[in-house]
Structure 1
């Protein structure tokens, strides 16, 4: 079978990270891409689940952070000069 050339543009950081990963697995990036394409053909689909990146915080946590920032900016917010003073006020 004749060979064909496949070219793609990708940012340098992604390329470098992929090369490091595949090298640790004993592969070069060309072999890794070839494996991906062969598996996609064999399985007739993308050979892995595509999931969005994990967010650092949930929606409710992000909302609580924004609420805390808003409360802290309020001129009516109570101020403490030490953690000890805050803890005493919580009792």
Structure 2
């Protein structure tokens, strides 16, 4: 196999994190990059589906938390607003 050196610029922190990750998986960063490139060539494109991730708003997160609490049989409940206020000291 004929190899060539390749220079790329990447954020230092990202490189450190990726190196640690791939070392934990038993690979060097160079081997991981080679795997990515080989799979890209095999797939004739990215070896994964690139897509934007939608971040959830605070309201969406609060609704999810409320749904989880409603399903939790161990969640604290109150019979009226005064019980809640007494609990939190208002």
TM-score normalised by length of structure 1: 0.59
Alignment of 1:8 onto 2:8: yes
Deviation at 1:53, TM superposition (A): 4.2
Deviation at 1:58, TM superposition (A): 2.9
Alignment of 1:46 onto 2:46: yes
* Residue 78 (structure 1) aligns with: none
Q: Which range is displaced more, 44-53 or 4-13?
A: 44-53
The number of residues matched between the two structures is 65
TM-score normalised by length of structure 2: 0.59
- The aligned runs of 1:5-84 (5 Å cut-off) are 5-53=5-53, 55=55, 57-58=56-57, 61=59, 84=85
Unaligned runs of 5+ in 1: 63-82
Deviation at 1:16, TM superposition (A): 0.8
Unaligned runs of 5+ in 2: 61-83
Structure 2 CA distance for aligned equivalents of residues 20 and 44 of structure 1: 28
Give the superposed CA RMSD: 2.7
